[in-house]
Amino acid sequence: MSEPKIARKEPYVEEVEPKKYAWCACGLSGNEPYCDGSHKVTDIKPMIVEIEENKKVAWCGCKQSGNKPFCDGTHHNL
């Protein structure tokens, strides 16, 4: 599997706190939008993102964004 599975055609919008997050890039996680290790059967690795302040983010759910791991609206064209 070299292409990610579309987990959903909308972002995961959440309030996050400062820390490191492992964003699921393969679309197979049972804990979307975060990695749960399901990528191990693929050649796709999660993206580690460090958030430095409390804020609202829109994690990409379709895995096709040009601004990974954040949503850029690409899901509207799927």
Task: Check whether 2 has a pLDDT greater than 90.
Answer: no
Which carries the bigger pLDDT value, residue 67 or residue 1?
Answer: 67
Count of residues in the chain: 78
CA 33 from centroid of its chain's CA atoms: 5
Residue 48, helix vs strand vs coil:
strand
- pLDDT tens digits, residue range 21-48? 999 999 999 999 999 999 998 999 999 9
| Side chain identity at residue 49, one-letter code | V
Percent of the chain with pLDDT over 70: 99
- Residue boundaries of the structural domains of the chain: 12-77
pLDDT-derived band of residue 9, with 50, 70 and 90 as boundaries?
Answer: very high
Task: Check whether 1 has a pLDDT greater than 80.
Answer: no
